[in-house]
């Protein structure tokens, strides 16, 4: 079991580093949005590229941030029911939900790969004049984000299973 604990610890450390690095994008997003608002309402200048850049920044915040939220215990849980469970039952529920999360991630990745490949194969860009090209780069972050979530769910399953066995 020491190997499983080390694996969970390594995954946690990796997700923590990715999450902390990704969190800096929130500052970038705020600056881009603030600049867009200032230019639009202060100087009547608009930029399609800058507007699209906002959601290009939002994608990694969302897809990498979900793993970091799971690591930090900031995910949504139905505590109204969960709070009445015994510790052993809570750990078992956490194992089951982690496994379900891993299955969902595997499904999303499987379905997403052809979507990203199609975008890459046609060199998909924006439909807007002056927008951002190479949309497949942003779409490619979707399976990467779910792969990271899969890993964090694996870590949570390991930690919950070990806690279940100790309880």
When mean pLDDT is compared across 47-61, 74-88, 114-128, 136-150, the lowest value belongs to: 74-88
Please give the radius of gyration of the chain, using alpha carbons only, rounded to the nearest integer. Answer: 20
Q: What is the mean pLDDT of residues 143-155?
A: 97
Tell me how many domains the chain contains. 1
Report the percent of the chain where pLDDT is more than 70: 99
130 — pLDDT class (breaks 50, 70, 90):
confident
Phi, psi of 145 (to 5 degrees): -65, -40
Phi, psi of 126 (to 5 degrees): -85, 155
61 — pLDDT class (breaks 50, 70, 90):
very high
Q: What is the mean pLDDT of residues 105-111?
A: 97
Please give the DSSP secondary-structure letter assigned to residue 39. I
Pick 79 or 160 by higher pLDDT.
160
Q: Alpha-carbon distance 128 to 36, whole Å?
A: 17
Q: Alpha-carbon distance 17 to 51, whole Å?
A: 28
- Other CB atoms within a 10 A radius of the CB of residue 16 amount to 15
User: For all residues of the chain together, what is the average pLDDT?
Assistant: 92
- pLDDT of the residue at 132: 85
13 — pLDDT class (breaks 50, 70, 90):
very high
Q: Alpha-carbon distance 23 to 13, whole Å?
A: 15
Q: Which domain holds residue 64?
A: 2-166
163 — pLDDT class (breaks 50, 70, 90):
very high
- pLDDT of the residue at 125: 83
- pLDDT of the residue at 133: 86
């Amino acid at each position: 079991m020491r190997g499983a604990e080390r694996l969970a610890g390594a995954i946690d450390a990796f997700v923590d580093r990715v999450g902390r690095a990704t969190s800096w994008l929130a500052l970038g997003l705020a600056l881009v949005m603030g600049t867009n608002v200032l230019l639009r309402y202060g100087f009547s200048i608009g930029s399609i590229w800058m507007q699209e850049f906002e959601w290009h920044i939002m994608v990694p915040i969302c897809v990498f941030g979900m793993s970091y939220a799971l690591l930090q215990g900031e995910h949504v849980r139905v505590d109204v029911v969960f709070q009445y469970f015994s510790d052993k039952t809570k750990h078992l529920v956490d194992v089951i939900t982690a496994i379900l999360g891993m299955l969902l991630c595997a499904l999303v990745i499987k379905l997403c790969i052809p979507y990203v490949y199609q975008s890459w194969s046609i060199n998909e860009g924006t439909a807007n004049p002056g927008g951002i090209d190479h949309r497949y780069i942003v779409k490619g972050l979707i399976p990467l984000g779910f792969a990271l979530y899969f890993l964090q769910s694996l870590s949570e399953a390991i930690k919950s299973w070990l806690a279940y066995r100790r309880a």
